């Protein structure tokens, strides 16, 4: 591997995505744990199908235009996320906001990879049948997360991620997604068929697909928009970084549509797995770890061939998580290569070791070190999730819309849209998206509240 391989700032570097490889890698980044453990819960809380409709609207009207902007800025800058705005021709004042979009995915990865490790552990536990030998899933989960085993699984997840990223863009990230995504699709279909054919599944399907518009509210709209951003991996420097590896001839408009469609279909099928399963076993479509690692194992344990389907489910989650962790890791790695002129492998090693250190308090906040479990009402892990998803992510989105809408002279050429579509896009960037992003930020940071 050459020392400069994959360094977007290195002169003459040609490590680029192929057209299909890029779309798959971006879908891989968007498809993640969020669709499986945040999406069902917030959908359940905000009226089921009506909320899903709102999510689709937010994704199309705001998510896709911002996605296109990030990719176009990334491709125009051909640098890391930190320098993308300035290298694309923007004022120096944008530089700190670029750097913020390197720090944010680094922090996200420090805790996201812990959960990726849990999913690997649960896949093994499920296939071996051990998970189902004791029906107290809550106690099993606490015993596991409060012990030292998560450290080992986090290390495995991080090593896998680092290995892929160290192999570069076309030979690593692209190849990995080309192998994993077809597997992910097969698993999704198998698990969806299993879920919708469970006895009593209809109640879950109808909750997910029959809209109750009375539950819609301004709050639901902001939650839907925030989740569309999280789910598309926006505002986190990921698409700025991936954009730098996209060929000049690639149509960003059609890539954006394909990525949006991929994420939407995944969210839809995730809903068709979670809602029928939880309805069939009379459990709440809860959020986060308690849904995935406690409620669903209870459901799997009660169905025929449960260990097999449970195992498949955790492999699905692990696949979805790892295609996201590679995209998260590429952001700081590309920054370090650009900033210090290091080779890819050295950068991966340094960033990965730093991640282990930064992730340590998160992993210890599940019971090993009691005070980390409750810092002003949240665990260390929850604080990192809160700050990154609710504050840094909307700031990242806001900066992109303001940059593309007001400060970017090269926008028309870089976005490559036909004149009519360009007008719609730039109007969204100037007048709609920044206002809505600001509202999301004020809402998620708790400054505005709805009763
Ligand atoms: N989009 C992925 C998910 O929904 O899980 C991964 C992800 C990327 C999450 C970036 C959050 C984020 F800020």
CATH code: domain of residue 24: 1.20.1740
Q: Helix crossing, 252-280 with 64-77: angle to 10°?
A: 130
| Ligand 1 neighbour 35 (Cβ under 6 A) | yes
In a domain, 11, yes or no: no
Q: Which atom of ligand 1 is nearest to the CA of 232?
A: 1
Intra-chain end-to-end CA distance of the chain, in Å = 57
Determine the residue of 81, 108, 228, 385 to mutate for testing ligand 1's pocket, defined as the one with the most ligand atoms within 8 A of the Cβ atom: 108
Quick: pLDDT tens for 217-267.
Answer: 888 999 999 999 999 999 999 999 999 999 999 999 999 999 999 999 999
In a domain, 308, yes or no: yes
Determine the residue of 228, 324, 389, 391 to mutate for testing ligand 1's pocket, defined as the one with the most ligand atoms within 8 A of the Cβ atom: 324
Q: Helix crossing, 393-402 with 433-444: angle to 10°?
A: 160
Helix (H) or strand (E) holding 447: none
Domain range enclosing 204: 19-444
Written as six digits, the tokens of 61 are: 């009207």
In a domain, 384, yes or no: yes
* Euclidean distance between CA atoms 203 and 206, whole angstroms: 5
In a domain, 184, yes or no: yes
In a domain, 449, yes or no: no
Closest C-alpha among 379, 380, 433, 385 to residue 405: 433
Helix, strand, coil % in the chain, rounded to nearest 5: 75, 0, 20
* Euclidean distance between CA atoms 207 and 202, whole angstroms: 8
Residue 196 Cα to ligand 1 midpoint, Å, equals 27
Helix (H) or strand (E) holding 83: helix 81-87
Written as six digits, the tokens of 424 are: 């719609």
Domain count, the chain: 1
Quick: pLDDT tens for 297-355.
Answer: 999 999 999 999 999 999 999 999 999 999 999 999 999 999 999 999 999 999 999 99
CA angle 83, 84, 85 (to 5 degrees): 100
C-alpha 26: how far from chain center: 10
CB 259 within 8 A of CB 23: yes
| Ligand 1 neighbour 30 (Cβ under 6 A) | yes
Confidence tier at 12 by pLDDT (50, 70, 90): very low
* Euclidean distance between CA atoms 155 and 71, whole angstroms: 31
| Ligand 1 neighbour 119 (Cβ under 6 A) | no
* Euclidean distance between CA atoms 116 and 125, whole angstroms: 14
Closest C-alpha among 68, 89, 93, 77 to residue 426: 68
In a domain, 237, yes or no: yes
For the chain, percent of residues with pLDDT exceeding 70: 96
Q: What is the mean pLDDT of the chain?
A: 92
Quick: pLDDT tens for 80-114.
Answer: 999 999 999 999 999 999 999 999 999 999 999 99
Report which protein residue has its CA nearest ligand 1's atom 11: 230
For 391, other C-beta atoms within 10 Å of its C-beta total 15
- Residue 288's SS3 state is helix
In a domain, 142, yes or no: yes
* Euclidean distance between CA atoms 344 and 420, whole angstroms: 41
Report which protein residue has its CA nearest ligand 1's atom 7: 233
Quick: pLDDT tens for 132-191.
Answer: 999 999 999 999 999 999 999 999 999 999 999 999 999 999 999 999 999 999 999 999
Written as six digits, the tokens of 387 are: 């700050």
* Euclidean distance between CA atoms 24 and 258, whole angstroms: 9
| Ligand 1 neighbour 236 (Cβ under 6 A) | yes
Closest C-alpha among 391, 402, 315, 324 to residue 100: 391
- Residue 268's SS3 state is helix
| Ligand 1 neighbour 233 (Cβ under 6 A) | yes
| Ligand 1 neighbour 364 (Cβ under 6 A) | no
In a domain, 5, yes or no: no
Residues 6+ apart with CB under 8 A from 163: 172
- How deeply is 434 buried, as exposed, middle or buried, from its count of CB atoms within 10 A (0-12, 13-18, 19+)? buried
The residues pairing with 378 across neighbouring beta strands, listed in sequence order, are: 375
């Amino acid at each position: 591997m050459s020392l400069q391989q994959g360094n977007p700032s290195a002169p003459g570097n040609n490590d680029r995505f192929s057209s299909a490889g890029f779309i798959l890698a971006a879908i891989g980044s968007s498809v993640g744990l969020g669709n499986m453990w945040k999406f069902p819960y917030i959908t359940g809380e905000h009226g089921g199908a009506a909320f899903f409709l709102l999510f689709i609207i937010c994704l199309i009207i705001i998510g896709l235009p911002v996605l296109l902007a990030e990719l176009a800025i990334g491709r125009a800058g051909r640098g890391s996320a930190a320098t993308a705005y300035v290298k694309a021709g923007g004022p120096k004042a944008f530089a700190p906001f670029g750097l913020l979009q390197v720090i944010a995915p680094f922090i996200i990865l420090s805790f996201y990879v812990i959960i990726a490790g849990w999913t690997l552990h649960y896949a093994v536990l499920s296939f071996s049948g051990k998970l189902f030998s004791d029906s107290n899933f809550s106690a099993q989960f606490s015993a596991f997360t409060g012990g030292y085993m998560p450290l080992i699984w986090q290390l495995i997840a991080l090593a896998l991620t680092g290995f892929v990223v160290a192999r570069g863009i076309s030979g690593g990230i692209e190849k990995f997604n080309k192998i994993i995504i077809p597997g992910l699709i097969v698993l999704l279909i198998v698990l969806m068929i299993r879920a919708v054919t469970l006895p009593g599944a209809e109640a879950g399907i109808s909750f997910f697909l029959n809209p109750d518009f009375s539950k819609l509210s301004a709050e639901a709209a902001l939650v839907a928009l925030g989740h569309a951003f999280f789910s598309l991996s926006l505002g986190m420097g990921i698409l700025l970084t991936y954009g730098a590896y996209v060929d000049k001839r690639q149509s960003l408009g059609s890539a954006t549509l394909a990525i949006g469609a991929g994420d939407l279909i995944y969210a839809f099928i995730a809903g068709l797995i979670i809602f029928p399963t939880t309805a069939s076993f009379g459990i709440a479509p809860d959020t986060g770890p308690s849904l995935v690692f406690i409620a669903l194992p209870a459901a799997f344990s009660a169905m025929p061939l449960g260990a097999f389907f449970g195992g498949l489910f955790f492999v699905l989650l692990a696949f979805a998580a790892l295609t996201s962790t590679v995209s998260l890791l590429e952001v700081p790695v590309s920054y370090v290569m650009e900033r210090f002129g290091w080779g890819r492998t050295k950068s991966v090693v340094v960033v990965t070791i730093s991640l282990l250190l930064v992730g340590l308090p998160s992993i210890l906040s599940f019971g090993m070190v009691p005070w980390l479990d409750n810092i002003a009402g949240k665990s260390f892990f929850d604080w990192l999730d809160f700050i990154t998803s609710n504050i840094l992510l909307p700031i990242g989105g806001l900066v992109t819309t303001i940059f593309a809408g007001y400060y970017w002279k090269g926008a028309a050429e870089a976005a490559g849209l036909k004149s009519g579509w360009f007008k719609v896009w730039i109007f969204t960037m100037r007048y709609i998206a920044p206002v809505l992003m600001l509202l999301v930020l004020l809402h998620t940071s708790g400054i505005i509240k709805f009763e």
